[in-house]
Amino acid sequence: MPSLKSSFYSLVALLLLGQAVVAQADLPDFTELVEEAAPAVVNISTRQKIPEQVAGAGELVIPDLEGLPPIFREFFERNFPQVPRTPNGGRQREAQSLGSGFIISADGYVLTNNHVVAGADEIIVRLPDRSELEAKLIGADPRSDVALLKVEGKNLPTVKLGKSEDLKVGEWVLAIGSPFGFDHSVTAGIVSAKGRSLPNESYVPFIQTDVAINPGNSGGPLFNLAGEVVGINSQIFTRSGGFMGLSFAIPMSVALDVA
């Protein structure tokens, strides 16, 4: 016969196991949400031509390769990539940035952050099927950090738009974006606070979350459990340059008013 002590320990083990099963059952399953919403989330890349400054003392000036013997030209091309020249003979370099966005209409309107596309000479939207479309900047608002783009398309996948004012602190939320260029990365967390003001950013009442957001997530959607976009992931607070548990999203009500 089992002793009273061993029976007690068995009962405690069963109770703990039962609590673990209940806790696991209470955790949300994001798979269906991601399957439905991910096709409307896009990667955004930009190109900006920046005239190079005239080289100063001690700076290396790359010679014109035209007319050089092939062996020397090959060496310079391999070790010192040529910089495009402007029409007036100056040199240019291309600055690139990566961000995220999401399609809000079947005919190709896309929401993202202003800072993702600011100053861009060319904006490229990459869809989940790896196809790329050139986007036109319809309008941008630096103060709220919202930008509206347009790509040419029909019957494009779209997100469902929700009401950010209905969010509750402690509610589960999910982000899809392209951190460091890794397309359609999914991260989840909870709403940490609402109506948060940031230093020098008092115009937007940010949604604070603990969802992992990193460079490249900017402009991507923040979803509630109903699969509705309730915010645009915009900023993080960090001392390291990477995620530290403090992420901030522009409420969808603000973004739509601006758009």
The residues annotated with a catalytic role in the active site are 115, 145, 218
How many Å separate Cα 66 from the centre of its chain? Answer: 42
The CA distance from 169 to 192, in Å, is 6
DSSP, res 85: B
Q: Tokens in use for 237?
A: 């607070």
Going 164 to 166 to 169 to 172, the CA torsion angle's sign is negative
The CA distance from 222 to 233, in Å, is 6
The CA distance from 184 to 126, in Å, is 11
CA distances from 60 to 55, 65, 72 (A): 7, 15, 17
Beta-carbon contacts of residue 163 (< 8 Å; ≥ 6 apart): 228, 230, 252, 253
Q: Tokens in use for 220?
A: 């991507």
The CA distance from 231 to 213, in Å, is 13
